[in-house]
Amino acid sequence: MEDRLQKLLSAAGVCSRRAAERYIEAGRVTVNGEAARLGAKADPDRDDVRLDGRPLPKRAEAAYLLLNKPRGYVTTLSDEQGRRTVADLTAGCGVRVYPVGRLDLDSEGLLLLSNDGDLIQAMMKGSGGHEKEYLVKVDKEVTPEFIQKMSGGVYLEDLDITTRECRLERVSMFIFRMVLTQ
């Protein structure tokens, strides 16, 4: 079945879709001996797709990992600041897996990782309607005023962004549940 080249490269486990776009633009990808162009499609069963002159490996069997990400790790596969990443925690799993969603450096919790690009795209797309739920522990009491203020979105000065509106409910004095609908 024909698919976009960046998806084929990613599914083969050689790089991310973004990296594949850079490889295509740099002329490193060929289809049937011809330099590929961004947006091109190919059928891996019919076409000879190569990266740097080497054939793509066969598509890896789908893998799904649940990881309890500890604090102190960033949810990315590489970090320009040299911090520990979830890739460090999954290095021994035998396949290249990608995180579905994000937990920040100081967060801990369950994280799904997979090499199933279709699943990842479906879960990450805003139109998918998937809820993201977080249990958040804070250093001050969760009051009705706190819930009202947080649920309307909060400006984060260090990131220069305002969080989205969400549904919040108090779980205990210092814990609340936050649900984001995409």
Residues with active-site annotation:
104
**What three-state secondary structure class fits 162?**
strand
CA–CA distance, 101 with 112 (Å, rounded to integer)? 8
State the Cα–Cα distance between residues 29 and 35, nearest whole angstrom.
Answer: 6
Nearest in space to 102 (alpha carbons), one of 180, 10, 44: 180
Task: Report in angstroms the alpha-carbon separations of 139 from 57, 72, 77, 135, 174.
Answer: 49, 19, 31, 14, 7
- DSSP symbol at 138: -
Contact status, residue 154 vs residue 98, Cβ threshold 8 Å: no
Instruction: For CA atoms 101, 105, 107, 111, give the dihedral sign.
Output: positive
Report the alpha-carbon distance of residue 103 to residue 169 in Å, rounded: 20
